[in-house]
Amino acid sequence: MSTNGSNGFEPRLIGFLCRWCSYNGADLAGTSRLKYPPNMVPIKTNCSGRIDATHILKALKEGADGVLIAGCHPGDCHYINGNYRTAGRFPLTQKLLEQLGLEHGRVRLEWVSAAEGDKFARVVTEFTEQIRALGPLGWSAQFVDESVAAPAAEKEAVPA
């Protein structure tokens, strides 16, 4: 990642995208050739309701400066109400992150439909700038002692 940002800091972001709406919205941003910053790597799940706090913590621990969760608009969920679970869970997750000393705004929830390529591009642009303003998180450096949080990706272990 080049470091030509205004303060020399380029945020590293993870975006969890639900397969039906937001992933397709991101695809539409692509087919529409909209431009947005390259800082976020998308990870696909079937539903935003699949994402729990451990995924967010894992991303932050691995060095992400911010995490975006994007799902279908209320009422549009491919799984009837999976996104309501996401919405219900999100404030609790935020509270947890707050207790861990995370600044408000590092983790963001957005509804992006498959038709909203422009919104996806806008959200990623805004979010990148938002995290750029907050500066680096630096959790990965704090976790050099792997005993604090064991590497999740051990082949046989069921991660906690």
Residues near other proteins, by CB under 8 A: 1-2, 12, 14, 20-21, 23-24, 26-27, 29-31, 33-36, 38, 41-47, 49-52, 54-55, 58-59, 62-64, 72, 75-82, 85, 89, 113-116, 121, 140, 151-155, 157-160
Report which secondary-structure segment, H or E, holds 130. Answer: helix 117-134
**Cβ–Cβ under 8 Å, residues 70 and 120:** yes
3-state secondary structure of 112: coil
Tell me the C-alpha distance between 53 and 27, whole Å. 26
Q: Which is nearer to other proteins, 74 or 135 (CB)?
A: 74
Give 110 or 116: the residue with its C-beta nearer to other proteins: 116
CA distance 10 to 65: 9
Name the minimum Å distance from CB 107 to other proteins: 14
Buried b (16+ CB within 10 A) or exposed e, 128-149: beebbebebbebeeebeeeeeb
Q: Minimum distance between the CB of residue 61 and other proteins, rounded to whole angstroms?
A: 9
> Of the candidates 93, 97, 79, which has an alpha carbon nearest to the alpha carbon of residue 21?
79
Q: What is the smallest separation between the CB atom of 36 and other proteins, expressed in angstroms?
A: 6
Of 147 and 153, the one with the shorter C-beta distance to other proteins is 153
Q: For the CB of residue 68, give the shortest distance to other proteins in the complex, in Å.
A: 13
Closest distance to other proteins from the beta carbon of 142 (Å): 14
Q: Toward other proteins, which CB reaches closer, 96 or 157?
A: 157
Pair of tokens at residue 26: 């991101």
